[in-house]
Every structure is written in C-alpha cells, then in structure tokens.
Amino acid sequence: MVRDGYYYGLAFIAAAVLVGWFTQPAWAVLPLALAAFFLWFFRDPERVIPNAAGALVSPGDGKVTDVSVVTVDGAKQTRISIFLSVFNVHVNRSPIAGVVRDVRYQRGKYLNAMNQASAEHNEQNIVRVEGDGQSVVFKQIAGLLARRIVFTPKVGDRLERGQRVGLIKFGSRVDVLFDADSVVQVKVGDRVRGGASVLAYLQPQGELAGAGRYSAGEGAR
C-alpha cells in the first residue's frame, strides 16, 4: 500500500472512534467506510514486468481511450491515452528503462480526464525518459477529482522498466508519446495494468529518436 493510504485510513478510523464515542455507534459507519475506501484505493500490488526487448509498458492501470498519431515539431509520434477511474490502482510506473532527461510540472485546469482537451489544458507532470536509443514522454494528467500529482525521481535518475515513479490521487489520466514507427499492441477500449501490460514495441534506433524534440514547455499538439 502507498503510505498515503495509512494516513487517510487511520485518520478516518480515529474519526469513527470519536464519533461513536460521543454520539451513537451507528454514526461511526460512514467514517469507517471512508477509511476502508482509502485503504483500498491506495493499494500497490506487485507486478510482473515484461522483459522483452523494446517493450513499452503502461505507466498506469486503466482503460485505453485514445491511440492516435500526432505531430510534434514536425515529427510523427504515437500517443496512447489511458483513463484511470477511482476504482483503478493509481500508482504510476516508468514505461521504459532509461534516464530521466526532463521533468516539468504544468499548472492548469481540472477538466474531465476523458476529454481530449485535458491533455493540453489540465494540471500535469510531463516526463521525458531516454533509453535504448529511444525517447519516450509520458504525462501524469490531473482529472476532475484529482488534485495532487506525485513524481519522485529527479532529472538524471536511472529508471528501470515498470519501476514505481509516483501516483495521481483519484480520477486521472496518463498519456504516453513515442516514435510512430513502433508496433502498437493495444486498441481503444482495452484494459491495461501499470508495469505489466505492453503498449507497444519500440523499434531500435541508431540515435535517440526524440533527443531534443521535447524541451521544457513543449508537448503534443
């Protein structure tokens, strides 16, 4: 379980005890239910990480809502969007093994994460990871209910494929952008699991495909 779950859970358990003590035991049911929800919501299950060469894994659990090709600074990129409901695990994982080259937090709105406009206008954290001749960008995007994005690695840190990197609290969305020549393995409507589901297989490149393509402040458009 993510540490935050203990904070929320214990706080509501304490509230239930106080409510039951000073009023009627039946009134303690609501805070106890909320404690159970938060303990469940912040679950952090172990995952088997695929070791196939070039595998790009999902950064989060949820439903694939978009698979499309976008143009970024004149270059074609595949974008996969995944919607995380309050019922999904919200721990985020690195899609590839590599070095964190850029991390940028962007303030913004809290549109419904199912809305395509949320990819550009919502509060989000944009991360670029370089590894094995490829550059992959993934975004942690806040949704209608989400109000806090957590990302723990720093620029220069080495990540392993499927490594835990943070979370988004409550409903949210994650986008992944990578070279359009990659072989996509999912379609709209598929359910994926963070760190375990392969979204695509990246094609080996002689040079970093996205080096210099994303700078601070840039994203898909």
> Side chain identity at 218, as an amino acid letter?
E
The answer, yes or no, to whether residue 214 has pLDDT greater than 80, is: no
Please say whether the beta carbons of 92 and 124 come within 8 A. no
Buried b / exposed e over 167-192, threshold 16 CB at 10 Å, is bbbbbbbbbbbbbbebebebeeebeb
Mean pLDDT of 101-114: 74
Averaged pLDDT of the chain: 84
Please say whether the beta carbons of 154 and 113 come within 8 A. no
Closest CA to 178 of 92, 98, 114: 98
Q: Tell me which residue has tokens 């060469």.
A: 53
- The pTM assigned to this predicted structure is 0.80
Mean pLDDT of 32-60: 90
Instruction: Report pLDDT digits (tens) over 117-173.
Output: 556 667 889 999 999 889 999 999 986 655 578 899 999 999 999 999 998 877 688
> Side chain identity at 30, as an amino acid letter?
L
The percentage of residues in the chain with a pLDDT greater than 90, rounded to a whole number, is 50
Q: Choose from 114-128, 168-182, 207-221 the range with maximum mean pLDDT.
A: 168-182
d(CA 109, CA 93): 24
Residue 120 pLDDT:
65
Mean pLDDT of 202-207: 68
d(CA 83, CA 60): 9
d(CA 139, CA 108): 13
Q: Is 58 exposed, middle or buried (0-12, 13-18, 19+ CB in 10 A)?
A: buried
The answer, yes or no, to whether residue 42 has pLDDT greater than 50, is: yes
The answer, yes or no, to whether residue 207 has pLDDT greater than 90, is: no
CB neighbour list of residue 182: distance below 8 Å, 6 or more residues apart: 54, 56, 78, 200, 201, 202, 203
Report the alpha-carbon angle 212-213-215, nearest 5. 75
Instruction: Report pLDDT digits (tens) over 15-27.
Output: 888 988 888 888 9
Q: Of residues 108 and 127, which shows the higher confidence score?
A: 127
**Of the listed 58, 172, 182, 197, which one is catalytic?**
172
Helical segments of the chain, H only: 3-22, 29-41, 118-121
* Catalytic annotation present for 68: no
Q: Is 63 exposed, middle or buried (0-12, 13-18, 19+ CB in 10 A)?
A: middle
Q: What 3-state class would DSSP assign to 170?
A: coil
